[in-house]
Amino acid sequence: MGGLFQSIEAFKDLINTIFKNEHLSTPKTITNLTPGTNAVFRVDDYVIKLFAPKESGFITERDYKVELESLIWAKKCGVNCPTIVTTNVISDKYIFRYIIMEYIDGYEIGNKLKDYSEEKQILLAKEIRSITKKLNQIVDKSLFKKDIVHTVLHNKKWDKYQNRVKQQIFDHVQKLDFNNQVFVHGDLTKENVLINHDNQLVVIDFADSLLAPYYYEYSPILFDLFDFNPILIKSLFKDVNPSTVDDIFNSLLVHEYGADFIHLIYKRCYQSINQINDIKEIKSIIENMILS
């Protein structure tokens, strides 16, 4: 199904019809964007995101609304993100929701970080901190609410961990305080933070946005966007202390892809997650990484 959703040939006629209905110029060039995206295409100076119809087996109505409202929220917060051109629903053979937005002409920042000087890395980390500070505010929208504990307890990604470790994770998460939740992007990875030709950071792909503790943002930032870079990691925080370690640890346990990030951390340490006997060992690795 994913391959179909990336097929230009499969969606070309539908895209042409949508652009005609929206009184936009007839598409000259349609190209795929980052591999792994489903039904997201660059169309000349635009990006169109098509949300799978219910017949596909995917429930995407909420995804559509979350993406739309998140872009509106980010703009309101003063965060650079794509401008929405139009959004609508079209009845083809199936019913497709779609968002058309401006195409950001730039490059993925994650591919350039290794070439940055230490001074430039520090400034970049501070910019990311500024972005999260703007976004991570209390939002009174039930649309973004998600039962994080339920999601963790039913996340199949934890099944590759030993049962006793998995149970420790579940016990720990159920004791956390989820009362003070804020809006989080949730997926600030190297593919989702661009730098445009004005050298400004632009955040894209808000599909995973939700209400969560502020530290939910940390896992993808530290272990994907920053790729474990110690200068970037330490510069993200104004003060690195034991509570910082707690936040990163909790981020790994509550994030939808936390199990994958922990696996990546252990791989970087030339260890296997099968060696974990107690979740305190995960925290110890983070301490050595952050406080050393």
Q: Kindly give the confidence (pLDDT) of every residue in the chain, 292 residues in length, as a single tens digit, with 9 standing for 90 and above.
A: 445 578 899 899 999 999 999 999 999 999 998 755 568 999 999 999 999 888 877 778 889 999 999 999 999 999 999 999 999 999 978 889 999 999 999 999 988 888 999 999 999 999 999 999 999 999 988 899 999 999 999 999 999 999 999 999 999 999 999 999 999 999 999 999 999 999 999 999 999 999 999 999 999 999 999 999 999 999 999 888 889 999 999 999 999 999 999 999 999 999 999 999 999 999 999 999 888 7
Structure tokens at 216: 């939910």
Rounded Cα gap, residues 209 and 69, in angstroms: 10
Rounded Cα gap, residues 247 and 59, in angstroms: 32
The correct CATH number of 2-102 out of 3.30.70.1230, 3.30.200.20, 2.40.37.10, 3.20.20.70 is: 3.30.200.20
Rounded Cα gap, residues 202 and 131, in angstroms: 10
The alpha carbon of residue 176 and the mean position of all alpha carbons in its chain are separated, in whole angstroms, by 22
The correct CATH number of 106-291 out of 3.30.70.100, 3.40.50.1100, 3.90.1200.10, 3.40.35.10 is: 3.90.1200.10
User: How far from 229 is each of 55, 81, 117, 232, CA to CA, in Å?
Assistant: 43, 25, 12, 5
203 touches 131 (CB < 8 A)? yes
CATH 3.30.200.20 location in the chain: 2-102
Q: CA end-to-end span of the chain, whole Å?
A: 45
